[in-house]
Structure 1
Amino acid sequence: MDLFTTLFLMSSGLFLGWSLGANDAGNILGAAVGSRMLPFRRAAIIGSVFVVIGAVAGVGGTSETLGRLGQIQELEHAFLVALSAALCILFYTRHSLPVSATQAIVGGILGWNVYTATAGDWDVLGTVAASWLASPVLAGLLSLALYRVIRKCLKLLSLHMFSQDLLLRWALALAGAFGAYSLGRNNIANVMGVFVESAPFTSFSIFALELSSVQALFFLGGLAIASGILSYSRKVMMTIGSDLYHLSPENALVAVLSVSLTLFLFSLPGPVQVPVSSSQAAVGAVIGVAAARGDFRVDTSMLMMIILGWILTPVTAGVFSWMLLTLFSGV
């Protein structure tokens, strides 16, 4: 297979990465932008840089989990599975709903399993599905704890209003950088995991750094995520940052740190090293902040729409995957 054909068949993964960046950047930076502590442009630049670093540095550990769910050996099949997930995410992003890229790619892989009559690893599927429930709960619990810690720290510092504002702006920028790193480390498997078995990359050096063949693949995927953050993430950032629940700068810091830590913890080596939904973690973090404040004025209609998106995402992606594989089976 020539280079042009190979790159074309990987274009759906790049499209998926762009879609993930456009949708999921709001989950780690939306609170900072929605609270007006970080302008969108600055937040997008921070996110795009650190998401690439996380994608390469994480060495794609979570991709091994997805690989056990469905080992796609044919590059053409990987192209269609990634395309189905990307189309699903783009559809919901256009409606300003923060959907789960993890659910989309899992749905796409399950659609491939049905098409090829392949029995996936049901234990892995159970672990991944359990993480869809565990990640928002963990993020919510972290929010409850961090809310008290950060409030106590700010009270002990007893800063002037101007100094506290400046401190929170810097803290949100650093938390956003950590969140983008964690997003790249955890979610790069959603973008390029289906191509690990079939992509013909070799190791190479960049800026005196030696990248393995897998890291080269994930570097390319990281760039795709970064492009989505820079070009099309503003709408979802505002949905998470202000539409679901209005966050003060202090509470925005709590939410960003909670989501970042959740993504990071699920990317660490161990039995729960799985790609999790930053969208679900973000909603859990925001609800955790509301609970810590004793203020439950969450936009319930928006919350129900988000939950509906979570339910429909794997089903939609699975149907798209099966339809595309069936449609192009003779090509």
Structure 2
Amino acid sequence: MFLAVVSAVFFGWALGANDAANVYGTAVASDLVKFKVAVASSVIFILIGAVFAGSRVLETISSLSSQTVFTAVTGTIAAALTMTIMTLLGIPVSSSQAMMGAIFGVGMFQGTADWSIFLKIVVCWVATPVGAAVGSFFLYRIISIVFARIKTKPTQNFALKIGAIAIGAYGSFALGANDVANVIGPFAGIMPVKVAVLMGGISIGLGVITFGKRVMYTVGKQIITLDHFAAVIAVLSMSSIVWMFTLLGIPASTSQAIVGAVVGAGFAGGTKDINLKVLKKIVLGWVQTPLVAGLFSFFLCLLLDLVIKIF
């Protein structure tokens, strides 16, 4: 059980370090919200989302393949290693992709992988950035009409700052509610759900505090240049689609959602200078993440199984 806790905390830390960028990256990079404020808000509302709504996605994740303590630990370590590598490279990848790939790698080792569920999740991965981009585009066009009625610049700036913090809190809540299942999903039935959810939320928060800054600037500045209004709209679109998938019990990718939302808001605002090189790097990371995590978990299972048989 000790090893299970350590591996889950490791993955939760890696998730927080990477996925914090998805909520506040645009606001921090555009100097709308200070990094310390973003971190504090993220940690608080990720924990609230994890504790009060973190059980919704558990059933989907736990149904991918049957788990023992051995396979749960192996899959979680594989997913955490994948997330850590991508974070060090500054690539905003998907924690749900890392965990789904790892769990499926374990399932292939056991011969219990459910391809039908996995294919449904893959379809959602494709729909997430597209839906976020479309949502961001139309939210920008609609809300900009209301925003234009605020006549003075100081009032506009104040409204944007408050909006960025409030919407970021909503996004952090949605992230905690959806992504904590990625941390504790493999351990469903192995440890008490309330304890696991709390542990997952705290470990995600630690990742935000200790290592969340680097990926924030990849998301916030390197894909496309956003003004303050577009930055807030992007987070609103991302948060909404992640929460929608959470209500449906589907493990969504906050990374994919925010990248799609950033592109949609940028185009709606008339910005066409998208950095295709960075975008290709991110999309390639999306493809690589489940593959790398799946291979890691498959070969870790083989290796540990061999060691156990020898000794």
- For the criterion TM > 0.5, the same-fold answer is yes
Partner deviation per Cα, 1:282-330 (whole Å, 9 max, x = no partner): 1100110122123321100000000111111111001110111111113
Matched, 1:8 2:3: yes
Matched, 1:247 2:242: no
Query: Which amino acid in structure 1 is aligned with residue 269 of structure 2?
Result: R
Structure 2 distance, partners of 1:299, 1:122, is 35
2:71 to 64, 74, 77: 77
1:144 to 118, 129, 137: 137
TM-score norm. by structure 1 comes to: 0.90
CA contact (8 A) 1:34 1:247 kept: no
CA drift at 1:77 = 1.5
1:161 to 149, 153, 156: 153
CA contact (8 A) 2:54 2:180 kept: no
CA drift at 1:113 = 1.1
CA contact (8 A) 1:244 1:299 kept: yes
What is aligned with 2:177? 185
What is aligned with 1:3? none
Identity of aligned residues (%): 35
CA contact (8 A) 2:225 2:271 kept: no
Matched, 1:313 2:293: no
Structure 2 distance, partners of 1:174, 1:46, is 9
CA contact (8 A) 1:44 1:229 kept: yes
Partner deviation per Cα, 1:68-127 (whole Å, 9 max, x = no partner): 11121x112211100000000100110000011111111101111111122x33221121
Query: Which amino acid in structure 2 is aligned with residue 297 of structure 1?
Result: D
What is aligned with 1:171? 163
Matched residues, number: 307
Superposed counterparts of 1:90-129, under 5 Å: 90-118=84-112, 120-129=113-122
Structure 1 distance, partners of 2:239, 2:222, is 20
What is aligned with 1:226? 205
What is aligned with 2:195? 216
Structure 2 distance, partners of 1:296, 1:162, is 27
What is aligned with 1:204? none
Structure 1 distance, partners of 2:7, 2:140, is 40
Q: What SS does the aligned partner of 1:328 have?
A: helix
CA drift at 1:150 = 2.2
RMSD of aligned C-alpha atoms? 1.1
TM-score norm. by structure 2 comes to: 0.96
Partner deviation per Cα, 1:135-158 (whole Å, 9 max, x = no partner): 111111110121012211111232
Query: Which amino acid in structure 2 is aligned with residue 320 of structure 1?
Result: F
2:40 to 45, 48, 51: 45
Structure 1 distance, partners of 2:3, 2:119, is 33
Superposed counterparts of 1:61-72, under 5 Å: 61-72=56-67
1:258 to 237, 253, 262: 237
Query: Which amino acid in structure 2 is aligned with residue 217 of structure 1?
Result: A
Q: What SS does the aligned partner of 1:89 have?
A: helix
Structure 2 distance, partners of 1:196, 1:100, is 21
| Runs of 5+ unmatched residues, structure 1 | 1-5, 202-213
Q: What SS does the aligned partner of 1:140 have?
A: helix
What is aligned with 1:292? 268
Query: Which amino acid in structure 1 is aligned with residue 298 of structure 2?
Result: W
Structure 2 distance, partners of 1:122, 1:314, is 14
Query: Which amino acid in structure 1 is aligned with residue 110 of structure 2?
Result: T
Q: What SS does the aligned partner of 2:33 have?
A: coil
Query: Which amino acid in structure 1 is aligned with residue 301 of structure 2?
Result: L
Query: Which amino acid in structure 1 is aligned with residue 145 of structure 2?
Result: K
Structure 2 distance, partners of 1:126, 1:215, is 29
Structure 1 distance, partners of 2:115, 2:71, is 21
